[in-house]
Each structure stands twice: as C-alpha cells, then as structure tokens.
C-alpha cells in the first residue's frame, strides 16, 4: 500500500512539475498561465495529450518537437523529475502531516524561482514575497514562529547588507533585491540557525560552479551568474539534510 501511495505521489509530482515548467516559461514573459494549452516554444504548435506526458513524452519524442523537429530543452523533463522526487521525499518524510504540504510548496517555489532566475536573471517578487508569509505561517503552526522570523530577518538582512556594501565597493549591483527576498523566504522556512548553513552551502556551490563555468566558457567575471539556483540548493539542502548537517557541525564542536 505504501508502495502504491509512493507511485501515486511520484506521478502527481511529475504532473505538478509539468505545471511548474509552464510557470517558468510564461511568468517572465508576462503570458497567461492558464490559456492557451501547452505549445512548442519554437513552432508554437499546441501539444497533443500524448506529447505532454511528464518525463515520458520527452523520452518518447527523442527530445524533439513532433512537428518542427527542433530540440526541446532538457529543462522540461529535469524539472518534472526533480519535482516528483522532492514531493516523494516530502511524502516519505512527513506522510500526510501538515509539514508535507508546506515543505512541498517551499520546494515548488524554489524550483520555479531557480528556473526563472536561470533563464532570465530575475527573481519574481510575486513568488518570493508571498512565500515569506507562507513560511512564517508554517513556523507558526509548528510553534516555531520566533525562529522562523529570526531566520527570515537574519538571512534577508545579511544579503541586504552584502548588497549595500558590495554596491559601494564595486560600484555595481552584486546582489539584487530578488536575492534578498529569496533568502528571507528560505530563512522563514529553514528558521534560525539553519539559515546560516543554507547561505554557506549556496556560497560554496555558487563559487565552485561559477569558477568552473567561467573557466569553461571564458566569459568575463562581469557576466552575472544567477545566484537564485544556488540559494535554492542551500535552502532545500538544510531541509533535506537537517540532521546530517547538525551532526556534521557537532564533529567540529559547533552546536546548534
């Protein structure tokens, strides 16, 4: 029975991932998220139901549009798979407790923000700001409101400070307000002090992958690398690896 539930949650998660792909594509372009039905981004042909099955259609069509034969971005099946796996993880961890719904929403918001920041270098406030309030409601229901609020203020405040100081030092924007709101959101969900390792993981991943990216592409350092996906990795990591991170820090004598 547990297995059938898990299969159902995975399939449902991949369908939500399909919708998150729609949001990632349409929100930054100012398109309606309801109509029209899904279409090929190249030739605009609307997709038949069997061309729109999460994960499977991409494999079945060999990663190409059925009509114009131009490649479909790998982003589509990846977002569907990632959403399905994260929903399955939430279900395995929380079953149908209230945490399941809130943590699932947290993951969904992070996926959409990462996708939009990755493709358009912008983080929509319309996702991050309501997300902050959803995070604080979650902490309130868990009798952890104060730690959620401190996590939000600490995280957002720290990135805001980096934005101000970086702006003075480099005479250009080092952190957007989108990043400030995103870290506030992560702080609300992760709470204090887990927002600290979340930012640390984001900075670590961001600098390693940023250096690899710059050395492969030979692009200049002025070319901004979106930080949202790395912040999202940090935020999701401290939720998923909560106990392991606490244990890891204890080995270094750091007690949370």
The verdict on 71 binding Zn ion (CB under 5 A) reads no
The verdict on 43 binding Zn ion (CB under 5 A) reads yes
User: Binding string to Zn ion for residues 110 to 129, with x set by CB under 5 A, is what?
Assistant: --------------------
CB of 21 to Zn ion, least distance (A): 15
Residue from 37, 42, 97, 250 that binds Zn ion (CB under 5 A)? Answer: 42
Residue from 31, 59, 68, 146 that binds Zn ion (CB under 5 A)? Answer: 68
The verdict on 72 binding Zn ion (CB under 5 A) reads no
Q: Which stretch binds Zn ion (CB under 5 A): 7-15, 38-46, 123-131, 208-216?
A: 38-46
Closest to Zn ion by CB, 29 vs 171, is: 29
Using CB under 5 A as the binding criterion, the count of chain residues that bind Zn ion stands at 6
Residue from 16, 27, 65, 239 that binds Zn ion (CB under 5 A)? Answer: 65
Give the pair of three-digit tokens for residue 111: 């996926």
Residues 138-197 that bind Zn ion (CB under 5 A): none
Closest to Zn ion by CB, 76 vs 154, is: 76
Q: Which stretch binds Zn ion (CB under 5 A): 33-41, 49-57, 129-137, 138-146?
A: 33-41
Binding site for Zn ion (CB under 5 A): 40, 42-43, 65, 67-68
């Amino acid at each position: 029975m547990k297995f059938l539930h898990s299969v159902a949650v995975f399939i449902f998660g991949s369908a939500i991932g399909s919708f998150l792909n729609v949001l990632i594509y349409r929100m930054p372009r100012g398109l309606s998220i309801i109509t029209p039905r899904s279409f090929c981004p190249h030739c605009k042909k609307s997709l038949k139901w069997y061309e729109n099955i999460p994960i499977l259609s991409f494999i079945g069509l060999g990663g190409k549009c059925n009509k114009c034969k131009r490649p479909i971005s790998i982003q589509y099946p990846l977002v569907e798979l990632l959403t399905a796996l994260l929903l399955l993880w939430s279900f395995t961890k929380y079953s149908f407790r209230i945490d399941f719904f809130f943590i699932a929403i947290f993951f969904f918001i992070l996926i959409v923000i990462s996708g939009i920041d990755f493709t358009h270098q912008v983080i929509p406030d319309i996702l991050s700001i309501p997300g902050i309030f959803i995070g604080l409601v979650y902490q309130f229901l868990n009798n952890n409101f104060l730690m959620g609020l401190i996590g939000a203020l600490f995280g957002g405040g720290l990135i805001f400070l980096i934005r101000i100081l970086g702006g003075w030092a480099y005479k250009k924007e080092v952190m957007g307000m989108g990043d400030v709101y995103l870290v506030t959101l992560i702080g609300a969900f992760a709470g204090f002090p887990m927002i600290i390792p979340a930012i640390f993981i984001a900075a670590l991943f961001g600098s390693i992958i940023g250096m690899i990216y710059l050395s492969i592409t030979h692009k200049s350092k002025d070319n901004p690398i979106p930080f949202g996906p790395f912040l999202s990795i940090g935020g999701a990591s401290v939720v998923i690896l909560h106990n392991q991170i606490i244990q890891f820090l204890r080995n270094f004598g750091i007690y949370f």
